[in-house]
Amino acid sequence: MNRLELDALRPHFDDLDWQFARFIEGLNGGSGGLFLAALLVSHRTGLGDVCLDLEAAGGGNINELVELDGPGFALPETAGWVEELRQSPLVCGADGKAPLVLDGKGRLYLYRYFLYERSLARDILSRYARLCDDVDTELLNDGVKRLFGPGEGELDYQALAAIGAVVRPFSVISGGPGTGKTTTVVKVMALAAEQFLKKGRQPLIAMAAPTGKASRRLRQAVEQALETLPCDDAVKARLPREATTIHRLLGSRWDSPYFRHGRENPLPHDMVLMDETSMADLPLLSKFFEALRPDARVILLGDRDQLASVETGAAFGDICAGGGEIRESIPYTPVKKAPSPAGSIVILKKSYRFGPESGIGRLAAAVREGDFTAVKDVLENDSFVDVRWRRLPPPGGLAGALEEMVLDGYGAYLLAPDPGAALAAMGNFMILSPLRRGPWGAHNLNMSVEFILKRHYFIESGEKWYRHRPVMVNVNDYGSGLFNGDTGVVFPGEESDGPRAYFEDEGGSLRALPPSRLPSHETCFALTVHKSQGSEYDRVLLILPGRYSPVLTRELLYTAVTRARKFVAIWADEAVMKKTVEAVTRRASGLRDLLWPGPASDGSDVP
């Protein structure tokens, strides 16, 4: 590796990565190894890794970390590279403070992300190896029997998850769509409220999710579950009817990446529930735990097999990595010995949505296991009426191939008479792509859909703010009160005052904004799979690109398939599908090692 080779890398990195590396190099007096390490750790953090794993990268080709056009070059050997970095005053160990942190296992971090990871690990470890000492066992067992039934027959993992969430200050409930996570957590909140009310306390419970769309789905699911919940009205009155975004819960500041609530000003709630936790990146999850009272109960819901967050880390997957060791029993019997941390995590596997005859259920299971033979068997089995597979049409024939599905899938939406009906009909159908750009990317798919609709006179040619245009916000904008993932629909405003974009607020009411007030947004007849997280649709069309890309993984495919409630069609070539099923998302991180090092820890030994 020489200076010419380093300079040849310039076109493949963002300005921020390159200037950061030059800044570090300048402070250090011109070390090539440090320049390269700073460049790569900044680049990989931007791609979702929390750190640069020098043990894995050392001696390999730079092409394994950066997509280059040519053959690349060999990276320094790990031992020499690590030693060079340790000699620099700009690199510190776990107990120091410097722009770069090198831990004892050869992982190099940007200082801020090292702090996020260690902070989250300490907060979780301080919670999940202990029990709450104020649980009324008789009241809990009576409530579990009433809410979940007598417990005869096979082990009821929902009931076990509920018991764990009441007796532990930290719990995780993971499961795929239709496994009853929301139903379970409503019962958890009822059981916890009964405990508080028995002691004469009025519990304060909050529900949140990473995006506005996910929080609205959570609210709707909880409202539905509350209708048939067998408990006293006094208990129901203490359960939350609203769900919010994590940013709103923590108190966003428009001029700062930090929040109003933190260690010095914790949230007042006795119990906090986070849904769709896999969508939360490491910094957000770290700040969330910092804002919790030490004695508050926290419940994380999600699907560990879904895509990791768009931003840095795969924190939920790391948290779930060592779980599933059930220690609670039905009925619950308190134990005196220290509880197993693994018992904080319950994996729900039984699907109440997809039975044995469901192609979607079998397809999702085969993808999750990385079994392409089983995937192909399901897709080619005509007895499954809820899945279809066809080979990818050429880019020039895309609009023609899409026409029938677009007109059928979006028919009810395009005929909706008002914004409320249109927003409700958005859940009927969605086109998904792994990519944003390219012939089969979401951007081009949206243009193809608009072309079809113009040809059939559903929208006016040349009109940008046409009636029924679906729009999705892709930034957090505190001024307008709209957040990343919020979805709206364009309709004419009242009294001829021009087009308006209508959005549903957290309470279910509609609010209208003129186009000029909308933050960054995009048309959303088609979405990337990442953008679809937190949503479900009756019917889904997934279009994979003609060539394999590193973003294609089994987690992405699983996420796309499980967005469908009733039907999923996949357009993909077999070779691309096979590579996608076999590829696994890997994000460099030290969180898993910190949480699951072996013997139980209370977090005090995390530096």
| pLDDT confidence band for 151 (50 / 70 / 90) | low
Residue pair 321/291 in contact (Cβ under 8 Å)? The answer is no
Query: How large a percentage of the chain has pLDDT more than 70?
Result: 94
Q: Does a structural domain hold residue 501?
A: yes
> Does 308 have pLDDT greater than 80?
yes
| Count of Cβ atoms closer than 10 Å to residue 605 Cβ | 10
| Mean pLDDT score, 284-309 | 94
Does 322 share its domain with 374?
A: no
Q: Does a structural domain hold residue 177?
A: yes
Q: Kindly report the CATH number assigned to the domain that includes residue 223.
A: 3.40.50.300
> Does 602 have pLDDT greater than 70?
no
What was the pLDDT predicted at 604? 46
For 233, 272, 510, the CA distances from 229, given in Å and listed in that order, are 10, 20, 28
pTM: 0.88
What was the pLDDT predicted at 194? 94
Does 338 share its domain with 379?
A: no
Does 392 share its domain with 487?
A: yes
| Per-residue pLDDT reduced to its tens digit, 105-128 | 999 999 999 999 999 999 999 988
| Mean pLDDT score, 244-255 | 86
| pLDDT confidence band for 600 (50 / 70 / 90) | very low
What was the pLDDT predicted at 369? 94
Burial of 602 (0-12, 13-18, 19+ CB in 10 A): middle
What was the pLDDT predicted at 338? 62
Q: Does a structural domain hold residue 590?
A: no
Q: Does a structural domain hold residue 591?
A: no
Q: Spell out the alpha helix ranges (H) of 322-397.
A: 359-369, 372-379
How far apart, in whole angstroms, are the C-alpha atoms of residue 559 and residue 306? 5
What was the pLDDT predicted at 325? 61
Strand partners, 274: 208, 300
Q: Does a structural domain hold residue 510?
A: yes
Q: Kindly report the CATH number assigned to the domain that includes residue 86.
A: 1.10.10.1020
Q: Does a structural domain hold residue 595?
A: no
Residue pair 190/239 in contact (Cβ under 8 Å)? The answer is yes
Does 345 share its domain with 382?
A: no
Strand order in the sheet with 387-390: 387-390, 564-571, 537-543, 429-433, 526-528
Domain count, the chain: 3
| Mean pLDDT score, 194-208 | 94
> Does 270 have pLDDT greater than 90?
yes
Q: What is the DSSP string of 388-432?
A: EEEPPPPGGGHHHHHHHHHHHHTHHHHT-SSHHHHHHHTTSEEEE
What was the pLDDT predicted at 585? 87
Does 157 share its domain with 268?
A: yes
Structure tokens at 162: 């509920």
Does 401 share its domain with 544?
A: yes
> Does 559 have pLDDT greater than 60?
yes
Does 265 share its domain with 151?
A: yes
Does 209 share its domain with 334?
A: yes
Are β-strands 387-390 and 244-245 bridged in parallel, bridged antiparallel, or unpaired?
A: unpaired
- DSSP 8-state assignment for residue 508: S
> Does 598 have pLDDT greater than 90?
no
What was the pLDDT predicted at 603? 45
User: How many residues are given for the chain?
Assistant: 607
| Per-residue pLDDT reduced to its tens digit, 499-542 | 999 998 767 789 999 999 999 999 999 999 999 988 899 999 99
Please work out, in degrees rounded to the nearest 5, the angle formed at the alpha carbon of residue 299 by the alpha carbons of 536 and 530: 30
Q: Does a structural domain hold residue 382?
A: yes
| Count of Cβ atoms closer than 10 Å to residue 294 Cβ | 10
Does 149 share its domain with 59?
A: no
- Domain stop point among 327, 353, 379: 353
How far apart, in whole angstroms, are the C-alpha atoms of residue 88 and residue 479? 44
Residue pair 529/432 in contact (Cβ under 8 Å)? The answer is yes
Residue pair 61/72 in contact (Cβ under 8 Å)? The answer is yes
In angstroms, the first-to-last Cα distance of the chain is: 34
Nearest to 430 by CA among 509, 320, 524, 554: 524
Does 428 share its domain with 328?
A: no
What was the pLDDT predicted at 143? 93
- Domain stop point among 336, 353, 370: 353
Residue pair 24/90 in contact (Cβ under 8 Å)? The answer is yes
- Cβ neighbors of 468 (< 8 A, separation 6 or more) are 413, 414, 416, 422, 458, 459, 489, 490, 491
> Does 586 have pLDDT greater than 90?
no
- Cβ neighbors of 598 (< 8 A, separation 6 or more) are none
What was the pLDDT predicted at 225? 87
How far apart, in whole angstroms, are the C-alpha atoms of residue 543 and residue 533? 16
Does 101 share its domain with 219?
A: no
| pLDDT confidence band for 2 (50 / 70 / 90) | low
> Does 332 have pLDDT greater than 70?
yes
Q: Does a structural domain hold residue 156?
A: yes
Does 287 share its domain with 408?
A: no
Domain that holds residue 213: 130-353
Return the percent helix, strand and coil in the chain, to nearest 5: 40, 15, 45
Are β-strands 429-433 and 470-473 bridged in parallel, bridged antiparallel, or unpaired?
A: unpaired
